[in-house]
Amino acid sequence: MNRMFSKFCYRLICCVINPISITSQNLQRVSIMIKYAIEASSLTRRFGDLVAVDHVNFKVKEGGLWGLLGPNGAGKTTTVNLLCCLLAPTDGTAKVGGYDIRKESGEIRKLIGFCPQEPTVYERLTGRENVNLIGKMYKMPKVELKKKTNQLLEKIGLTERADDQVITYSGGMKRRLDLIMAMVHDPPILFLDEPTLGLDPAVRRAVWDFILELRERKKTVIMTTHYMEEADELCDRVAVIDYGKIIAEDSPENLKEKSGRGDIVEMEFSGPADAAIKRLRNLKFIKTVNKVEDRLVVVAEAGVSRLGEIIKTATKAGVKVGRIRHQENTLEDVFIHLTGRRLRE
């Protein structure tokens, strides 16, 4: 029970220190006044000799969905905890909603919602009671809180179990309840730390849909993940972090185009292979071209989107192109290119 209560207190500390009275409209007005929702400048956190976050610099635009991608132990959760004012930086600083994490933590807590990596629900309460407790701490009007709670429970698929004690919930249900608790006060900035960790595919897809809806509503979402497909599917921009350092940041598409092995295009063919290979190698975006039995194997930057140009070039060389197979570059390939190892090693 003590451990359960401690985890729940951790959630409440993230939300507030003193009772908060602030409307959704005020939150949105504060957000609109600034260009970037988050600005980190040489943000650093040490634990003894371990540098968990090492002088990172980044900016997150308002309304963006920004992902922090990296293996376990890379510094993702520590970075989020710094931005949520749960840890103090050793060096550097950051601004969240225009407020400095070193000096204005109380103002920051008014603007954010936080869904931590481990469930922080109070298991002896019902799902609805957990949500209501967070809403009351934000001094939400009773009618508004009831309406918002019902909407979120319905949206995330917990209505039928809302009045059951959380101790009877599955891990996936607790995770979804955590998301509701982070969102009930309608914050303009939301932190999601590994939001789909350990969920089965169906529940993960439901959480993805929920996060995508947040993006459509122009919420600023900062999420950590070590799932490449999740970052690729959801995020506008991705920062790759390893050993506490951000080693690359861009849109998923640009990261895949600039780094990694490139897209693979395999074309069955008949005709003069040497002439086709020579022409293809002259294209600037082509990395390699090889003949493998009756196939031309092309590795290219953004090769799938440039498939028409590849086929046209080969055809001009007198090659007749048959069946085509392709495999897109992935963020896993980007991570291997940047670090020399796989993401989950």
The CATH number covering residue 318 comes to 3.30.70.100
Same domain membership, residue 276 and residue 189 = no
Say if residue 22's pLDDT is above 50. no
Give the separation between CA 287 and CA 110, rounded to whole angstroms.
50
Q: Is residue 334 domain-resident?
A: no
Mean local confidence (pLDDT), 12-40: 57
Domain range enclosing 228? 2-250
Q: Is residue 64 domain-resident?
A: yes
Identify the pLDDT of residue 9.
54
Say if residue 260's pLDDT is above 60. yes
Q: Read off the pLDDT band of 335 (50, 70, 90).
A: confident
Mean local confidence (pLDDT), 271-279: 92
Same domain membership, residue 38 and residue 162 = yes
| Block residue for tokens 């919602």 | 113
Q: Is residue 255 domain-resident?
A: no
Give backbone dihedrals phi and psi of 57, rounded to 5 degrees, phi first. Answer: -130, 130
Give the separation between CA 14 and CA 181, rounded to whole angstroms.
12
Identify the pLDDT of residue 129.
97
Identify the pLDDT of residue 49.
96
Beta carbons within 8 Å of 208's beta carbon, 6+ residues apart:
196, 230, 233, 234
Same domain membership, residue 170 and residue 80 = yes
Amino acid letter, residue 163 = D
| Block residue for tokens 């990694």 | 260
Identify the pLDDT of residue 15.
52
- For residue 345, CA distances in Å to 1, 74, 174, 199, 260 come to 35, 12, 28, 21, 17
Same domain membership, residue 270 and residue 239 = no
Give the separation between CA 38 and CA 188, rounded to whole angstroms.
12
Average pLDDT, the chain: 88
Beta carbons within 8 Å of 74's beta carbon, 6+ residues apart:
241, 242, 243, 244
Q: Which tops the pLDDT comparison, 20 or 342? A: 342
> Over 282-334, what HEC string results?
CCCCEEEEEEECCEEEEEECCCCCCHHHHHHHHHHCCCEEEEEEEECCCHHHH
Same domain membership, residue 46 and residue 121 = yes
Question: The tokens of 72 are what?
Answer: 């376990």
Mean local confidence (pLDDT), 57-77: 95
Give the separation between CA 140 and CA 23, rounded to whole angstroms.
8
Same domain membership, residue 293 and residue 211 = no
Give the separation between CA 192 and CA 214, rounded to whole angstroms.
12
**6-10, 97-101, 164-168, 292-296: least confident range:** 6-10
Same domain membership, residue 213 and residue 146 = yes
pTM equals 0.80
Same domain membership, residue 293 and residue 198 = no
Q: Report the number of distinct structural domains present in the chain.
A: 2
Give per-residue pLDDT as tens, 132-177: 999 999 999 999 999 999 999 998 899 999 999 999 999 889 999 9
Mean local confidence (pLDDT), 314-335: 89
Q: Is residue 257 domain-resident?
A: no
Mean local confidence (pLDDT), 78-97: 97
Same domain membership, residue 287 and residue 244 = no
Q: Read off the pLDDT band of 336 (50, 70, 90).
A: confident
Same domain membership, residue 149 and residue 16 = yes
Same domain membership, residue 135 and residue 76 = yes
Mean local confidence (pLDDT), 185-195: 95
* CATH at residue 9: 3.40.50.300
| Contact in structure between 82 and 101 (CB atoms under 8 Å) | yes
Q: Is residue 256 domain-resident?
A: no
194, 227, 250 - which closes a domain:
250
**5-14, 75-84, 237-246, 326-335: least confident range:** 5-14
